[in-house]
Amino acid sequence: MMKRAVVALFLSVAAFVAAAQTPSSPAIVQVFGFPCDSTLTQCPDGSFLAGFLESADGNFYGIASEGGTGKNSQGSVFKITPSGQFTLLYSFAELPDGTLPFGASPDSLVEGMDGNLYGLTLVDGANGLGTAFKLTKAGVITLLHSFCNTIDCSDGAYPSFLTQGIDGKFYGGTGPQNPPTSVLFRMSPNGSYKALHTFDTKTQPDGTGIFNMVQLPDGNFYGTTVAGDQLKPWNTVFRFNPVTDAYTILHGFNSPNINLPNVAASGLTYGSDGNLYGLRVGSILYRITTAGSYHEMGPMSATQNIDGDVMEASDGNLWGDFFQPPGTVFSSTLSGTVLQNLTLNANVNGQEPFGLLQAADGKLYGMSFENGAPTNGQPSNGAFWVIDAGLAPPRPRIINFLPAGGKVGSTFVLQGSHFVGTTGVSIHGVSAGFKVLTANFIRVTVPARASTGKISVTNAGGTVASAKAFTVQ
């Protein structure tokens, strides 16, 4: 949770213009608590949660930055079903010689197109500065890369973010730490690694790490960086082209006043209106175009907040959370009108929420970094929870496809979101064979009798068509 700690340096007081919680507000219900002993030092399932995802198989997979089983275990990877059935997949425990070759304190996890889990650890590994790993859903781990920040090995240190692009390669960032430990990198599924950009706050508001990156229809990644040091609380919204490796700052957050910082505090989400949305310190929601036109809207919460998350749900509104204890979940319109605030209770559903997402069933799921309701009579230190706000299952969203055309019998990758539970894919009205690879990718086979036309995807939320046509050759 290194990013949380960095942004926490910039706390201040903010005005609140949002509506108060109403009696009709949905409840935050704990699905699973991570049990520990009375001292909170022995947590066999993991503790201090660090991230999760919805998988193509309909389950959730997540990571804890501490705990697990085995000698001096320092983090875990696990599976949780929507009903709360828990399975421990892997613990980052010491080998008999006391080493942690696969790393410790996992802090990022994604599902790859091959069905395996790929992730990062913050520390340890061969050089003590973090690792990249692959983990099968049966719990078999493979080391892909050990990060090493030396003159001869300037690939960054303390990796903290990972995502997969439509090209099948992984993109991520290291840090936040002072350069040159903070880089943007590309890695193949077999571990081939290249640093692409070194973050620099000395001459520009570039930040010292990455909150997230999202890939849009133009093929570019858009993301936000984590703030720099106290004297230069700089960070940015940026664009990165994975073909040319060009890195462009679209908007710089640069406030010389440490007590009233103008600092990005979340990653970005791609709205249905074609704009990007994010949060900055002060619980301020902002909108930015892909060209860099920036607009701020009012605060989302009554309490000054640090890091958060934001995403658009099936009701067309933004839903998000703020990490500052005890933590808040909010919803607002795209124009910034706050609809509700829900406050977590450390003894009921944990505190310091993060990772809010809408699953295929329409419910909102999230995690609390620590605390939670007791589990089987034992105190919890981390919780997985759900909000049933009565929302419809989300419709699929098509972002892009690659290649742009193909012959009958060939395959292509469809990129988007909410693909879990897909029941049909067609090209120009002709049903096509398909396999859901992840929540964001589907492999499609061009069917016989197909002709050039738009691609349609159907799930429980409805049917959507691509903006452009697939060319049948």
- CB contact at 8 A, 321 and 267: no
The per-residue pLDDT for 23 is: 42
- Of the chain, the end-to-end C-alpha distance in Å amounts to 48
The per-residue pLDDT for 258 is: 55
The per-residue pLDDT for 261 is: 64
Across the beta sheet with 411-417, the strand order is: 397-402, 411-417, 441-445, 430-436, 424-427, 453-459, 462-472, 405-406
Which residues have a Cβ under 8 Å from the Cβ of 290 and sit 6 or more positions away? 216, 218, 220, 222, 239, 250, 274, 276
Q: Which helix (H) or strand (E) holds 5?
A: helix 2-7
- CB contact at 8 A, 10 and 233: yes
The tokens of 179 are what?
A: 């350069």
- Distance, in Å, from the CA atom of 325 to the CA atom of 318, rounded to the nearest integer, reads 21
Q: Where are the domains of the chain?
A: 2-387, 397-472
The per-residue pLDDT for 263 is: 86
The per-residue pLDDT for 257 is: 58
- Distance, in Å, from the CA atom of 27 to the CA atom of 408, rounded to the nearest integer, reads 49
In terms of C-beta density within 10 A (0-12 exposed, 13-18 middle, 19 or more buried), how is residue 333 classed?
A: middle
Alpha helices in 310-379 (DSSP H): none
Phi/psi for 124 (5° steps) reads 65, -160
* pLDDT tens over the chain, length 473 residues: 444 433 333 333 333 333 334 446 899 999 999 999 988 889 999 999 999 999 999 999 999 999 999 999 999 999 999 999 999 999 999 999 999 999 999 999 999 999 999 999 999 999 999 999 999 999 999 999 999 877 667 889 999 999 999 999 999 999 887 667 899 999 999 999 999 999 887 777 788 889 999 999 999 999 999 987 666 668 899 999 999 999 999 999 876 555 556 889 999 999 999 999 999 988 999 999 999 999 999 899 876 667 899 999 999 999 999 998 899 999 999 999 999 999 999 999 999 999 999 999 999 999 999 999 999 899 999 999 999 999 999 999 999 999 999 999 999 999 999 999 999 999 999 999 999 999 999 999 999 999 999 999 999 999 999 999 999 99
The per-residue pLDDT for 8 is: 38
- Tell the CATH topology of 2-387: Neuraminidase (2.120.10)
- Tell the CATH topology of 397-472: Immunoglobulin-like (2.60.40)
The per-residue pLDDT for 228 is: 72
Torsion, Cα 366 371 372 375, to 10 degrees, reads 120
Which of 104, 80, 84, 85 lies closest to 94, judged by CA?
Answer: 104
The per-residue pLDDT for 250 is: 96
Phi/psi for 58 (5° steps) reads 85, -5
The per-residue pLDDT for 6 is: 38
- Distance, in Å, from the CA atom of 265 to the CA atom of 278, rounded to the nearest integer, reads 8
